[in-house]
Amino acid sequence: MWTCYDADLDMAYVLFADEHPGEEAIKLVEVRPAQTAPLPSSIQAALEGLIVEFDGEGRLLALEVTGASKALPKAFLEMAARETRPKPLKPK
């Protein structure tokens, strides 16, 4: 697993796989709640900032969270911000 947090963009990223296959090999899905009851604004904002990445076989590959400082625990953001390795990409 690989994580990162960019405070300037307020974006966090969690890669569950050992390596990322590259942008052209994934499917991005934006999350939208299916609930009919209103959600608290903080939960609504967190869901609207969530992008899910799937690999070519339909497996969950990664999560991207915009507005991360409002959606994720501070301890996670601090840990993810310390990541200095580049995103592990699968060689072409």
Predicted local confidence at residue 4, as pLDDT: 95
Q: What are phi and psi of 27, to 5 degrees?
A: -120, 125
> Given this model, what pLDDT does residue 23 score?
87
10: left (phi > 0), else alpha (psi -120 to 50), else beta?
A: left
Please give the pLDDT value at position 79.
95
In this predicted structure, what is the pLDDT of residue 55?
Answer: 92
What pLDDT is stored for residue 35 in this prediction?
A: 74
With 0-12 / 13-18 / 19 or more C-beta atoms within 10 angstroms meaning exposed / middle / buried, residue 45 is middle
Where do the H-state alpha helices sit in the chain?
41-48, 68-71, 74-81
What global pTM score does this model have?
A: 0.85
pLDDT beneath 50: ranges in the chain: none
Residue 28: predicted pLDDT = 92
